[in-house]
Structure 1
Amino acid sequence: MSRQLTTQNATITTASIQVQALTIGKKQVTLAVFRQLEDANIINTLDAGLAGEPWGRVNYHPDKCADDKEHLHVVWEKDGELRRATVYEPSVASHRHLKAGLYVEALIAEGLTYAHRGNQAGRPDRLQVVRSRTEDGPGFAQFMHRGVQFRGSVRNEFTFAFNDSRPDRSREELWHRLRHVAGPDATSGSLAEQLPALGYTTSWRRLKESPQLFIAV
């Protein structure tokens, strides 16, 4: 039998919400102090794991990037020092990785050109290959792989071949140049498996679930 709610048997309970403030000693960290923290990547380039211990998220955009693509500002610790980092959501991460460029170079050596860059089997989603603006500097490639956006350097001879309408342009020479760097058995498939998509997604989830830290205005 349910009891009837009356003014005699009802009570009001105030929930306790914990607010975590970032402090130095007994003083709360200010915006000016937060801006002075060294800006350093908390996500490793190699395996996309965390490079240090995250303290939490700060809902403040020191670089006036509040309207930018989805991202977090994180305070983290490395070697006993506090740093801050901007971390982007996986689909807009543009995570720089050596194997990202080599992967695209392998695709080009296999015959991928601008005219055939569509999302076919074995082709990365949202692929962009951009030539260098200078004669000596490398170009770059950006694409989606397993929900994570990757970015890597692509050598000029590969960007030229990508934009060439002749599909057989020096492919043997391209394979030689690629495997000189990536190893004698490198293929687009083997290089794709080395891209740390799961690592980045895991790191992003951990940072997004970290506590929010409050700083003084």
Structure 2
Amino acid sequence: MTRQLTTQNATITTATIQVQALTIGKKQVTLAVFRQLEDANIINPLDAGLAGEPWGRVNYHPDKCADEREHLHVVWEKDGELRRATVYEPSVASHRHLRAGLYIEALIADGLRHSHCGAEAGAPDRLQVVRSRTGGNVGFARFMHHNVLFHGPVRTEFTTAFYDNSARSTQHEDLWHRLRHVAGPEVTSESIAEQLPALGYTTSWRRLKEAPQLFIAV
């Protein structure tokens, strides 16, 4: 039976809030020391899992990036050494992954063109396909997949086809031949999409977001 709250049985207690400070020996780490930590990516580029053990978040923006897209600054450990990392929220992450580029190449080989974007059912959300600005052999694509923004290299023959509105079956066949030479003989756009680590990135972000906040000295 639920007891009724009354002035006789109610009490007021003071909660204890734990503050965790990052220290070296007995001295609290300063901003200058924090800036000296090696800046290294804690997100594994292959599976988007964590590349080391996170110690916590630091509410300090050493590169004056407080007003940029949403992100965290994390202190983490790898091979017995402390490092710092900047990790972006999934929808603005622009996580670079080789399969991201291959996925867009597969869609282009399937017939996706710039003129179809927004109307073509197979076009990913927020798709950008950019040709090489230096005249090289590789451009890039950026797009949203399962609420994670991905980024990947796209070869020139595919970016050229993307902006070519003519649909020629021989062109599709040639593009698929080039793609399967790299990605495998049985690959499809669906099978490549399944290999994009959207869940891995989201899980890593959630874990870092829930990590304790570490305080450093001014």
Is the 8 Å Cα contact of residues 90 and 205 (structure 2) preserved in structure 1? yes
TM-score normalised per structure 1 = 0.94
Q: Which moved more, 1:135-144 or 1:84-93?
A: 135-144
Distance 1:77 1:4, change over 3 A: closer
Residue equivalent to 2:90: 90
- CA shift for structure 1 position 121: 3.1
Cα root mean square deviation, aligned:
1.7
Matches of 2:5 and 2:177 in 1, distance apart? 82
The question of whether the paired residues in 2 share the 8 Å contact of 1:71 and 1:87 is answered with yes
Change (3 A) 1:135 1:212: same
What SS is found at the alignment partner of 1:60? coil
Any unmatched runs of 5+ in structure 2? none
Q: Deviations over 1:70-91 (max 9, x none)?
A: 1100000000000000001110
CA distance in 2 between partners of 1:2 and 1:190 (Å): 59
* Alpha-carbon distance, 1:119 to partner: 5.7
Equivalent-residue separation in structure 2 for 1:69 and 1:208 (angstroms): 15
Identical aligned residues as a percent: 79
Q: Secondary structure at the match of 1:198?
A: helix
Structure 1 residues without counterparts, runs of 5 or longer: none
Q: Would you say 1:105 and 2:105 are equivalent positions?
A: yes
Partner of 1:180: 181
Which amino acid in 1 is paired with 2:195?
Q
Shift of 1:153: 0.3
CA distance in 2 between counterparts of 1:132 and 1:123 reads 21
| In 1, Cα distance between equivalents of 2:57 and 2:72 | 7
1:58-207 equivalences in 2 (<5 Å): 58-118=58-118, 120-168=120-168, 170-207=171-208
**Alignment partners' CA distance in 2, 1:3 and 1:166:** 75
CA deviations on 1:131-180 (whole Å, 9 max, x unpaired) are 01112241000000011000000001110110112122722211111111
Shift of 1:120: 3.9
Q: In structure 2, what is the Cα distance between the partners aligned to 1:58 and 1:114?
A: 42
What do residues 6-36 of structure 1 show as CA deviations (whole Å, max 9, x unaligned)? 8xx9865322110000001111000001011
- For the residue of structure 1 that corresponds to 2:45, the secondary structure is coil
